[in-house]
Structure 1
Amino acid sequence: MCALKTSGEEKSKLTLSVRKSTLEKAQKYAIEQGTSLSVLVETYLSDIPDKTEITKPPFSINEMFGFLKDSPMRSMTDREIKDMMIKDQYGL
């Protein structure tokens, strides 16, 4: 059963637009879980991290490209790389 701790915080009304089949599926799931659709949505939304909780990865995408700087694949075309991967995968 899904249940949120009540914090005494004021609730706000929310209007959503979803496909009818999605709504029906969610309503059925909520009934099976013994809860309401409102509680399911609020639980899902409450799991969104605060901006302060989002951590920066230990390296950037640009730094990752540096790994290939001296690689022989650097001068290969996409097609050559794809052919090499297929040969490697199938032992050709």
Structure 2
Amino acid sequence: MKLLTSLTLSAVLVFASTFALAEKPDFSKTAAAKASYDFSKNKPATGNQLMKPSTRHDFSKTAAASSDYQFSKNTPAKLYKVNLPSTQHDFSKTSSLKQGC
């Protein structure tokens, strides 16, 4: 029992001390926080730079770009009928009008 208690207390102390001693960085004390800091003098970052992806797609590499592809064999798209709701409402058919309210 004493062993379990001592292990529990030591575990609590380890976890409590790491959180208590952990110091949050105060970036307001850095050189870049000063109003006189000149960001234009910073060196550009090197390595691990992400390249901007191209917004253009090369359709010449698709299956449909080959001369053997037959568009007539494509299955036609399903057509859906969309019923747009009416913007006007016939209030003469409401139950409150029939009750005389």
With the shorter chain as reference, the TM-score category is under 0.3
- Superposition TM-score, scaled by structure 1 size: 0.25
Q: Rg larger in 1 or in 2?
A: 2
- Superposition TM-score, scaled by structure 2 size: 0.23
Question: Which structure has the highest helix share of the two?
Answer: 1
Q: Which has the higher contact order (CA 8 A, sep 6+)?
A: 1
